[in-house]
Structures are given as C-alpha cells and as structure tokens.
Amino acid sequence: MSIYLQDIPLSEAQSIFHDALEKARLWRILETEEINLDEFSRGRVLAEPVWAKLSSPNYHASAMDGFALQAEATIGASPTSPLVLKIGLHTTYVDTGDPLPEWADAVVPVELVEPLDEKGQDIPDMRRSSAIRVRAALTPWTNIRPMGEDIIATQLVLPAGQVLRPVDLGAIAASGHATIQVSRKPKVAIIPTGTELIQPGQIARPGNIIEYNSIVLAAQVNAWGGLAKRYPIIPDDYEKIKESVLQAAGENDLVLLNAGSSAGSEDFSAQVISECGDLLVHGVAVRPGHPVILGMIHYSKERIVPIIGVPGYPVSAALTGEIFVEPLIGYWSGRQPFEPIEVTASLTHKITSPPGDEDYMRVVVGRVDNQLLAAPLPRGAGIITSLARADGIIVIPAGTQGLESGTKVKVRLYRSPHELENTIFCIGSHDITLDLLAQYLTSFSRRLVSANVGSLGGLVALRRGEAHLAGSHLLDLQTGDYNLSYIKLYLPETQVRLVTWVFRQQGLLVNKNNPKGIRSLVDLARPEVRFINRQRGAGTRILLDFELSKLGIKTRTINGYTQEEYTHLAVAAAIASQRADCGLGIAAAAQALELDFIPLFQERYDMVIPLRFFATDLLSPIFELMQSPSFRNSIAALPGYDVSKMGDFLI
Amino acid sequence: MSIYLQDIPLSEAQSIFHDALEKARLWRILETEEINLDEFSRGRVLAEPVWAKLSSPNYHASAMDGFALQAEATIGASPTSPLVLKIGLHTTYVDTGDPLPEWADAVVPVELVEPLDEKGQDIPDMRRSSAIRVRAALTPWTNIRPMGEDIIATQLVLPAGQVLRPVDLGAIAASGHATIQVSRKPKVAIIPTGTELIQPGQIARPGNIIEYNSIVLAAQVNAWGGLAKRYPIIPDDYEKIKESVLQAAGENDLVLLNAGSSAGSEDFSAQVISECGDLLVHGVAVRPGHPVILGMIHYSKERIVPIIGVPGYPVSAALTGEIFVEPLIGYWSGRQPFEPIEVTASLTHKITSPPGDEDYMRVVVGRVDNQLLAAPLPRGAGIITSLARADGIIVIPAGTQGLESGTKVKVRLYRSPHELENTIFCIGSHDITLDLLAQYLTSFSRRLVSANVGSLGGLVALRRGEAHLAGSHLLDLQTGDYNLSYIKLYLPETQVRLVTWVFRQQGLLVNKNNPKGIRSLVDLARPEVRFINRQRGAGTRILLDFELSKLGIKTRTINGYTQEEYTHLAVAAAIASQRADCGLGIAAAAQALELDFIPLFQERYDMVIPLRFFATDLLSPIFELMQSPSFRNSIAALPGYDVSKMGDFLI
C-alpha cells in the first residue's frame, strides 16, 4: 500500500472512469421499465419518446355550456333583430366537453341567449326553456374544440429523456397512454466505515464522529433520481469492509464507500478495491475532495460494478457526490445532467488557492447597490455548515493561485436567484442576537447573511459598498462614547444612520467554577493564566486594549494575547475545550457553552446603516422587529442584554 | 342556482379566501411533527429553528493523518538541520479525525516526516517506525481542527421555514440532533367529477374525456410538499358529489373539487359548497381559469375545511393549482411560496387579451442573436400540451387589451435558464420530420422549438431575427424551382445557406376508401366535395394555387377554400373527423390518421439557415444528423419521403 496519493486532474479522472464504464458496457442508459401513469410518475425519466395514440379531443367538443346549432340558422340575427330558435331537432343544450351533434357546426354560449317558454315568454330558468332568443349570427365552428385541437394522434408529445413534471403527466394521459416506459432508477449503495463513527442520537465521546455523510449522500442520490440504500456502519476492519463492499456490489449499480479513501493507517478502501477489482484512480486534484478513489468491483464474470471511494470530510463527500455521482445517475437515467444556474458576482475578499488543484469554494451571494457580491465562506473540508450556508460554489481552475478582491467570478447557484434578492448583508462585529434576527427575518422573506469581521471591518465593508449594515461597538478612547468618531473617520463620504441595537455586558469568560481564580483583567498577567484574544479591529479588542492601558498592563505579559478568534462563541469554545483559561466576551457566549462569567463593563452595540439602504423595503423588517415586543423580549431573555434603548437613533 | 358567474379580480378573491381562512383559524402553520433525521427528511420544512446541541467537532481533532506532538519540540527543525523525535510519550501517530492527545498542540502530516527504525535508519513503512525525522518547525495548533470549528453549541444552524436539502441534513446531524421538528404535510383531497370521465387506458368513445386533471393536481400537490389523495371519479350526481366532498373534508386539510365549477346544467360544485358551508367566490377574473370556486366546508362545529372548485379545462386546472393551492400549501408548511425565476424576453407576435382578466399566457423561450424571445403558444384552456411545451408564463395584467410584437415581457420560467440557451428556434413550414428531429436532438442536449407559420412566415421570422432556421418549400411559379427566388425577395440583406432537407410527396388526403371518389384537383370544384385549405403563405397553399391556375379552376368554386388550417396534421384531422372531405398535404399526415392518399406532386423541402448561425455549436448537431444513417433511415421509413439529397447545399 502506497501512502502517497496520485493527484491527477479532474477531467483525466473522469475520462478514466468513463472508459472503464464503457469497457464494462456500463456507459449506457439502464434498463427501462413500464410503470402506470399516475401522480407518482413525477420525476421519472422517459426512456422512450411518447407519440400520441389518440387525438385530444378525440371528437368535436363543445367549448362552452350552451346550445349546439347550425350556424346557418343564425344568419341575420343582431341585437336589434333577434331570432328565436326552437329547442329540438337542430338546437340542443350541450355542456362544455359534450360531443357536438353530427348536424351541428356551432355553439352559442348560455350567457348570450335568452330562454323562452312554450309561449315565447321570457323565463329565468334555462333548463325549462322551450326556445332561445339569439341576438348575433354565428360563424361555423364557433365555440367548438375540433378533434385534435390539443393533440393529433401520432405526433410527438414528449421526447425521451424528459424528467416528468405534473403537466407532462396530463399531456401523456391526454394522448391515450395509461402506462409509460421509464428508465429504471439506478441503485446506489452507501457504506459508512470507521470505528470512530456513531449514529446521530448516540452519545458522542471525544474521538467519536457522528456519521451523517451517508444521510447526505443518500439524500443526494434520491434527489438526483437514484435509489439510495444505506448500509450499516462497518468498523475499520479490512475483511468486514471487503465483505460489505461485495454484498453491496451484488445488490446495486454503484457503490459509495465512505471514508478510508485516504492513505492513513486505517484507510482500507484502496486495498479492498484493488483486491476485488480495479483501482483506477486514487487521488484527484480537486479541493476539497482530494482523496477520491474510482474503481470497478469484479463481483462475478458477468457483473462489474463501479465503486467510488468517497473522502470522509463532509464537504469533500458532498462535493464528490455532485462531481462524480450526479452525472452518472443522470446518464444511467437517460436525462441531461443537472446544470446549475450561474451568475456573475464580485468577490468581497482576496482568496488564495492551491495552484495544482481545481478548487471548489463556497460563497454566500447577495446584492448590494445593484452589484452581486460573493463572500467566501470558511474553506475547511470539515465544515459542513459552509455547505449548508452556501448560496453557491466558485470553481477556481487548477493553475490559479488565487483571486483578488473585486474579481468577477462565476457562481454556480445552490439557491434560486430570487432568494438572493432578499438577502441582507450584515458585515461587522459579531453578536449572538444576529442569530435571533436571522431567525425572525425568515418570516419576512428576508435572509440575513452575517460575516464576522469585527467592528472596524464592518465599517470598511460599508465604505466599499459590500454590506447593507454593520454591527459595531467601537469605543472612542477619548470620549468614552461609541462608534460616532469612527464613522467620521472611516466613512467620511457616506451618509449613515446610527441606531442603538443593544446594551450588553462584557466580561471575562472562565471555566466552570473558575479554577484559576480569575477576578479581573489584572489576573491576565499571571503567567499560568492562558488568555484567548479577539482579532485586531474587533470592538472587544479595542475595549481590552483600552482597559489594559488604563491599568498599565503590558500586552506582552499576557500569555495568549496573540492567539486570536473571530467571534465571542469561538472564544468561549476555546475556553470550554481547555485551550485557554479565559477571554473577554459577552455573557451570552459564556452561558451558551456553560462557562462562568465575570461581568466587567457594559457597552453599546449599534447598527450602522448607510442612508441609501435605510428606508428600503429590503431592510424595513429590521426596523419593524426593533419595535416588536416578541423580538425584544427574546433578546432581553439572553443573559447580559438590555433592549431598553433599542431603535433609538443616534444619527 | 345562478348561471352567471362573478368575475372578481384575483387579488380580491385571494383576500376573501385569506380572510375566511383567518376567521376559521386556518391561516397558520399546520401542526408540527417530530421525525427521525434521515435521507427521507429531504424536502421537509423545519417548523422550528435548529440550534446546535453539540459543537462540531466536539473535541480537538487531528486534521491530517500524521503525528501529534508538542510544537515546542520542533523548534529549530529545518530542511538542512532536521530533528529526530522518538515515538512515544509525546509523539504519537493519529489518523484524521482522531482526538488530539491532551499533551499535544500540533500535528505533523505523514507526508512531511521520514520514518526511522530503532537504530535511526530510514525505513519505508511508517507503521513500523520507532522515530520520525522532522524538517520544519510547527506553530501551535497547526493541522488541528479545534473544537467548534464547524459548529459551536447553541448557535443557529438553520432557521425555521427551511426546506431541507441534503447538506442541511448533515449540518443538523453534526449539531447533535437525531430528530427534527417539521411541519406536518398538508393533506389535499382531489375529487374528479363528471359522468363523461374515464380512466387512462379505458376505451374513449365520443363524449368520453380521459380524467387526468387529478393526476396533474396530485403530482403538483406532492411536488409542493403536500400529501395528495385522489378520490374515485364521481358522476354528475348532486348527492354523490356532496357525500364525497364531506368524506374528503373529514379526511383532509383542503379539498379540490374538479370540474362542475362552472354554471352548466350539470355543474353542481357551487350548490354543494353552498349547502355544506360558505360559497365565498364563484368566478375569478383570470384566464384561463375563470370559473374557480373558493369556499369553506363546515364539516362539523370544530372542523372547517377550505375547498376549491377547480375548473375542468386542463390548463385552467393546472394554473388554479399554481395560483391558489401552492401558496396555501407553502403557508401551511411554514415555507416561503415558490418564486419562479423571471427573465425578460421580447414577444415574437402581437397578442390580444380580454381586458377584464389577468391573462396567463404560455410561451416558449429561446435566445436568437443574444435576444431572448418569447413565442406565444396556443391559448385554449383545453390545450394541455401548451403547458407541457411551455417554457414559461407571461401574466398580462387586467386592463391590458393586448401586447404588440416586440414588447419586452417578464416571463416566469418553468425551465432552468440553462435549458433555454440550448434551444433551437425553427419557425416556418411544418413537416412531420421536425418531430423526429426534435427527438434526435435531445441526445445532443438541444431542444427544438418549432412554430408552424408557413414557409413565408418562416422567411419573415428569419428577417426579423426571430429564428435560427426555417423549413421552406416555396415553389417559384416561373422557374419551377424552390425557395431561391423567395429568399432573394424576402431576405435581401441576410446571408443564408440553403440546404436540402427532403423530397416529399404532396397529394390529396381523403377518407378511407375515398367515399367521394376524388381523383385529382379537378374534383375540388364538385359542389358536394368539402375541401380544407392551408393558410396563406404556406408552401402547400402556393402549390395548390399554382396547380389550380394551370387547370383554370377558380378558387371561389371550391367549397371550403376559405377554411384554413396551419399544419398538415390539422388538415388530416379535419378530414378524419368528417369536417371536410379532402385537403392537400403530405403522405405521412394521411398515414398518421389512417386516411387514404392520392399522390400528385413531389416537392423539395429545404432548410434556410442564416450564415451567422450556420457554423455555430448550437446548430451543429443538425448537420451531424443529416449525415447520420440512423436518422436518415427513420425519415426514409415515413411514407412519401426521399432523403437521397439530404444535406446538399444549394447556396
């Protein structure tokens, strides 16, 4: 077993896989099956074109509720000189859809006639009428749906390869079919492997990983028209993995073997595939996703089954599905591969990319000032939330080392363009209440996308036209006031409104029961106390530096001062996981991770909103919520929050 | 029972319905239910926000296969002066995802170390190594995924109202949930009524209508996240309809009563609804869809159930689903209503519209010369194929009498914009082989949209930049040649290629066994012979007029000369349905409808292709097909077709 993976370009890997499938006679539409035409046919793929068996309508039909008659009999009728037609041999009531009597060639709608009784008197009830008065002449074939108006027997109704939509089912039925030929759904096995894996709901101990890749992959397969089967978790045991792979190959068209595709000490996928068939590719130059395996299992002389070794990192796994599994299911089903909608957006941050790899970067997308912006999400292959939060993907081709901020990029969308239009970009300081705001905004059809770059970073984003609003709590070291002087400095040319969001407590987050006996900022200088800091430009960092200088504490005496995190919750997490002993942050973050909190200061957290966004329809729900008792109460319920000034304008 | 419908504006109808639902306390999200998180959760709607229960990772994890160590121990290591670390207490192998030992603060990947045996000699196998050589210093926290890197406990993972996608399921599982709270699927009853209805597959006699609206509606409901239940067909019997409505109201959240919503003699819907509850709206100013009924069934004191009387015409029925049912299912589920993608396109034809109604017009959409074009489809409410073929809908607001050709219109798309890019617009003369071409093109990811406006109409469309190619068989009365002189006349400024498509037989279509003994064009002048003609500008019409003038037959002596149809198949259908005795057309149309055919002439049918489209990627599959034996053979198999010159260039 080699511990070094190959690193071949994606297109080459795809072509090797394609050739092997072709050689095994598996590069073809799977068998067809005949199914009854009903509502459950939706989403199936037509394996054969549908040619009309019947015309529709298959007789001349009345297009209205009215009276069938001979057009000739109405010649001369006009509003002022009506004609009276006796109901009988050549004038008869027909409902919409009724066949036209053979002798008739027109229908006059009920609304246009006046019912008469036997004596020629007007009566209200059409059904008891003996004659009708007609006030207009009809031309032949008026209000008739001629045979074949919709469909003429033998014409093409739908081409093969059509993914059936509700209205397609109607067109097929109308053309005389009660059954249809569709492609069989490709059966896809998903085998999770790993001794460390546990099921959702089982108690997670350090080292345990909740197994959810199989859920994501199975849901993908089903969404793409396959039939997914999840197999039980197999521990890292060569023989057991081999047994499961062979069983799955016997029962399915494709096997996805999840994790163990790398080259670690317990990565058996490559070895199992080599032994049971052909290892075609081990390692593709795609990030995230790198340690993908492509192979063929020789189950028997007649049965060769493709297998994909899917990397264990969740983002890699989901992207491996999109890149390798979706097109194969599509081809086997006889449909076109899904083509995402692409938009062009402007990159908000400079990004770097490994030059040798095709790089799939997740972004959030929104419109600010008529410009579509793409803000990169965290890059790690382990960050499943980066996919759940993603509005789309940017593919950075191999050979590109990175892209400058402002570069126009093509984004393959995961959402409909309409959702992007309702996106509020809130870039700046992080506060836990933004999660609540995001939740409340959904009922207004607004999506809040918040990027945490600190208060100063938020003002810079506003200056560059990359956000609709920014949360900020920048303490003016001279005046003791918040934000105003910074706005003057950083946004000299932008008219803004400044509105109070909350007052909140800042203090020291420490472990439960405060084992190191930390009481104030003075304790940070103790050598055995490990501090975790916020990044430069964060309001909390400015507050810390201000208070430290007041106390005359040198920052270099603080152990961990250079260790930076970007959010309050990340600071809390660092302490909860014993990576640090304390950090400055908000009470709610302490409560979230069951830490103790030593309150030190109260600060104001404001929203900075450029005037041009202030009165827009997009942002109006935010102002509505600031006045909403339910929203204010849910924030006031968080520890350390005061909403009494929420909504007060400062500028 | 009033026979006159109301005609109230859509927005008013919606608001009346909304108020009645509100009053009945039904304008709310339906109950929630707890379901297991698995691949079948896809598509469900979160009834509550998901807040993280666990952090992910919930321990510091190795991000690589490698050796956990103390970063301090690597200080000074460099490519030229490596350090050797003994595997043991403070250097140990870890796989990706393994928890970091408490004493460790960095991981060096296997690729970057050299394995050594006990004696310090290099060995190939990492697993048997006793020490490792390191050639670079590590900073603390290198190659470690700190606890909470992906998700921090208590943070918002997904907001309520989210329609769950595969990756969302992963994010929820990662945050420690094994179950989720989703909204219950709204249950929707669909009751087809009508004595004339038969099931697909039953033999259709004149007057019978194949019942497929319930399939379309049920598939729509399921696609929108509801749970549809189709009830048996009920004949037009007041008591039976009432019984079925009450049963459905007892079992469902919404009842769709299909057909009988108008005011004909057998339209009982309004009466049943009035008797069982409140008839709120009868008739909405929307076309197609007009006779919609909105009401509430008072099933019991505690149970009020909304009911929609859905018009019987299939296009009306499907649009009633989109307009009234989808938003209600969306609201009940707690998700946002579906918002179609909108594009702006240029209308190819002038259209008229009833000024009082909001008019939903179906269009096909494609790009020609960088301009998005929308070509109207047949308007009839009975034409289900107009919905199956539609790429989108134009909503013409009430008060608009019509729109001029060239008007920019907003199209709500039914297809992804990507599919529109692969659309070939073929506008001109109709030929049956265009259906075959459409079918063959699907395997090239091309979609052929053909509009039948006759040969001259096709040249005009090319001149106006509204088509990629046109089929044409215009006989030059002077030269006896085809198309060339017309191209010079109609496209003087457009460089085109002219390529032979087929030679085909034109002749007289007559009923089986030719009951009127028709032999040649001379018979058309017989008074008892009813002729059916093609429209002006059609090649067949020009051919007819030419041959008639040669024979000295006056067109006014021909019974039916002014009755026009737009396609060969429509002519054949008129004859098959006894509306006419004969017409001029192609042999294949006769065969399609089992008519007899009297061959008279052979004519050339060409493709006219502007030079600027000729060598494009979009059209290249057409030229490939012209050379494909399989395609040529399938055309040659049609009666009266000769493909020996197919693909020959004339210009």
Q: What is the pLDDT of residues A110-135, one digit of tens each?
A: 888 999 998 889 988 777 889 999 99
Tell me which architecture the domain covering B469-642 has in CATH: 3-Layer(aba) Sandwich (3.40)
Q: What is the pLDDT of residues B27-64, one digit of tens each?
A: 999 999 999 999 999 999 999 999 999 888 888 889 88
Q: Indicate the length of chain B as a whole number.
A: 651
Average pLDDT over residues A513-524: 94
What CATH number is given for B61-145 in this structure?
A: 2.170.190.11
Question: For residue B253, is pLDDT > 90?
Answer: yes
- Looking at chain A from residue 277 to 296, which residues have their Cβ under 8 Å from any Cβ of chain B? none
Q: Which residues of A touch B176 (CB under 8 A)?
A: 200, 204, 210
Among B347, B436, B334, residue whose Cα is nearest residue B396: B347
User: How confident is the model at residue A579, as a pLDDT?
Assistant: 84
Token pair listed for A520:
């104030």
Mean of the per-residue pLDDT values for chain B? 91
Among A427, A374, A363, A420, residue whose Cα is nearest residue A618: A420
Question: For residue B3, is pLDDT > 60?
Answer: no
Average pLDDT over residues A589-599: 89
Rg (CA), chain B: 35
Cα–Cα distance for residue pair A265/A268, rounded to 1 Å = 8
Is there a contact between B577 and A147 if contact means CB atoms under 8 Å apart? yes
Residues 6 or more apart from B370 whose CB is under 8 A from it? none
Q: What are phi and psi of B232, to 5 degrees?
A: -65, 160
DSSP per-residue codes, B53-118? SS-BSSS-EESSSEEEE-GGGGTT--SSS-EEEESBTTEEEE-TTPBPPTT--EEEEGGGEEEE-T
Q: Which residues of A360-377 are buried (b: 16+ CB within 10 A; e: fewer)?
A: bbbbbbbbbeeebbbbbb
Residue B110 near chain A (CB below 8 Å): yes
Residue B477 near chain A (CB below 8 Å): no
Token pair listed for B158:
């997904």
Residue B515 near chain A (CB below 8 Å): no
In CATH, which superfamily holds the domain spanning B32-57+149-183? Answer: Molybdopterin biosynthesis moea protein, domain 2 (3.90.105.10)
The DSSP code for B460 is: H
Question: For residue B500, is pLDDT > 90?
Answer: yes
User: How confident is the model at residue B295, as a pLDDT?
Assistant: 96
Q: For chain B, what percent of residues have pLDDT higher than 90?
A: 66
Residue B637 near chain A (CB below 8 Å): no
Q: What is the pLDDT of residues A349-370, one digit of tens each?
A: 888 887 888 999 999 999 999 8
Q: What is the pLDDT of residues A185-213, one digit of tens each?
A: 999 999 999 998 999 999 888 888 999 99
| Coil, helix or strand at residue B91 | strand
Token pair listed for B63:
């991000």
Neighbour tally for A201: CB within 10 Å: 14
How far B221 CA sits from the closest chain A CA (Å)? 9
Is there a contact between B417 and A179 if contact means CB atoms under 8 Å apart? no
Q: For chain A, what percent of residues have pLDDT higher than 90?
A: 66
- Looking at chain B from residue 312 to 341, which residues have their Cβ under 8 Å from any Cβ of chain A? 312-314, 318, 321, 336, 339-341
Classify the C-alpha dihedral A540-A541-A542-A543 as positive or negative: positive
B190 in Cβ contact with B227 (< 8 Å): no
Classify the C-alpha dihedral A63-A68-A69-A74 as positive or negative: negative
Question: For residue A381, is pLDDT > 80?
Answer: yes
H helices present in A293-448, as ranges: 314-320, 326-333, 384-388, 417-421, 433-441
Cα–Cα distance for residue pair B187/B248, rounded to 1 Å = 10
DSSP per-residue codes, B485-554? HHHHHH-TT--EEEEEEEEEEEEEEE-TT-TT---SGGGGGSTTPPEEEEPTT-HHHHHHHHHHHHHT--
User: How confident is the model at residue A5, as a pLDDT?
Assistant: 67
| Coil, helix or strand at residue B645 | coil
B424 in Cβ contact with B469 (< 8 Å): yes
User: How confident is the model at residue A1, as a pLDDT?
Assistant: 37
A309 in Cβ contact with A295 (< 8 Å): yes
Average pLDDT over residues A425-452: 90
The DSSP code for B21 is: H
Omega prior to A192 cis, within 30 of 0: no
Calculate the CA A597 to chain-centre distance: 37
Among A443, A441, A504, A503, residue whose Cα is nearest residue A469: A441
B383 in Cβ contact with B315 (< 8 Å): yes
A67 in Cβ contact with A93 (< 8 Å): yes
User: How confident is the model at residue A3, as a pLDDT?
Assistant: 40
User: How confident is the model at residue A538, as a pLDDT?
Assistant: 85
CA angle B128, B132, B133 (to 5 degrees): 145
Question: Of all residues in chain A, what percent are helix, strand and coil, respectively (each to 5)?
Answer: 30, 30, 40
Q: What are phi and psi of A546, to 5 degrees?
A: -60, -50
Cα–Cα distance for residue pair A89/A493, rounded to 1 Å = 86
Task: Write the CA distances from A486 to A473, A490, A502, B543, integer angstroms.
Answer: 10, 6, 18, 83
- The strand pair at B66-69 and B91-94 is best described as antiparallel
Residue A423 near chain B (CB below 8 Å): no
User: How confident is the model at residue A411, as a pLDDT?
Assistant: 95
Question: For residue B2, is pLDDT > 60?
Answer: no
- For residue B12, the surrounding DSSP H or E stretch is helix B10-23
Task: Write the CA distances from B309 to A28, B193, B257, integer angstroms.
Answer: 46, 11, 5
B56 in Cβ contact with B148 (< 8 Å): yes
What amino acid is encoded at B190 in this protein? I
Residue B435 near chain A (CB below 8 Å): yes
- How sure is the predictor about B266, in pLDDT bands with cuts at 50, 70 and 90? low
Q: Which residues of B touch A169 (CB under 8 A)?
A: 212, 215-216, 219
Neighbour tally for A131: CB within 10 Å: 20
B151 in Cβ contact with B29 (< 8 Å): no
Question: For residue A271, is pLDDT > 70?
Answer: yes
Is there a contact between A161 and B443 if contact means CB atoms under 8 Å apart? yes
Cα–Cα distance for residue pair A542/A509, rounded to 1 Å = 17
Between chain A and chain B, how many beta carbons pairs sit less than 8 Å apart?
365
Q: Which residues of B50-70 are buried (b: 16+ CB within 10 A; e: fewer)?
A: bbbebbbbbbbbbbbbbbbbb
Strand ranges inside A238-370, DSSP E: 254-258, 277-282, 286-287, 293-298, 304-310, 342-347, 351-352, 358-368
- How sure is the predictor about B627, in pLDDT bands with cuts at 50, 70 and 90? very high
A45 in Cβ contact with A183 (< 8 Å): yes
User: How confident is the model at residue B424, as a pLDDT?
Assistant: 95
Q: Indicate the length of chain A as a whole number.
A: 651
Question: For residue B264, is pLDDT > 80?
Answer: no
Residue B545 near chain A (CB below 8 Å): no
- Looking at chain A from residue 11 to 70, which residues have their Cβ under 8 Å from any Cβ of chain B? 37-42, 49, 54-61, 63, 65
Residue B210 near chain A (CB below 8 Å): yes
CA neighbours closer than 13 Å in the CB half-sphere of residue A174: 33
Question: For residue A628, is pLDDT > 90?
Answer: yes
| Coil, helix or strand at residue B278 | strand
User: How confident is the model at residue B477, as a pLDDT?
Assistant: 84
- How sure is the predictor about B265, in pLDDT bands with cuts at 50, 70 and 90? low
The DSSP code for A56 is: B
Among A546, A492, A462, A433, residue whose Cα is nearest residue A484: A492
Annotation: CATH topology of B10-28+185-333: Molybdenum Cofactor Biosythetic Enzyme; Chain A (3.40.980)
Mean of the per-residue pLDDT values for chain A? 91
Average pLDDT over residues A313-340: 93
Helices (H) and strands (E) in chain B, counts: 18, 37
Cα–Cα distance for residue pair A490/B326, rounded to 1 Å = 48
Cα–Cα distance for residue pair A341/A414, rounded to 1 Å = 8
Tell me which architecture the domain covering A470-642 has in CATH: 3-Layer(aba) Sandwich (3.40)
Cα–Cα distance for residue pair B426/B382, rounded to 1 Å = 25
Token pair listed for B34:
């707890």
A85 in Cβ contact with A114 (< 8 Å): no
Question: For residue B514, is pLDDT > 70?
Answer: yes
What amino acid is encoded at B205 in this protein? R
pTM, rounded to two decimals: 0.90
- The strand pair at B209-210 and B277-282 is best described as unpaired
Rg (CA), chain A: 35
Task: Write the CA distances from A232 to A244, A259, A294, A321, integer angstroms.
Answer: 9, 14, 22, 19
Q: Which residues of A touch B194 (CB under 8 A)?
A: 97
Cα–Cα distance for residue pair B92/B580, rounded to 1 Å = 92
User: How confident is the model at residue A495, as a pLDDT?
Assistant: 93
Domain ranges of chain B: 10-28+185-333, 32-57+149-183, 61-145, 342-421, 469-642
In CATH, which superfamily holds the domain spanning B342-421? Answer: MoeA, C-terminal, domain IV (2.40.340.10)
User: How confident is the model at residue B134, as a pLDDT?
Assistant: 92
Which residues pair with residue B498 across a beta bridge? B608
Cα–Cα distance for residue pair B108/B113, rounded to 1 Å = 7
Strand ranges inside B154-253, DSSP E: 156-158, 179-183, 187-192, 197-198, 209-210, 227-230
Q: Out of B149, B200, B573, name the one closest to residue A148 (CB).
A: B573
Residue B203 near chain A (CB below 8 Å): no
Question: Of all residues in chain B, what percent are helix, strand and coil, respectively (each to 5)?
Answer: 30, 30, 40
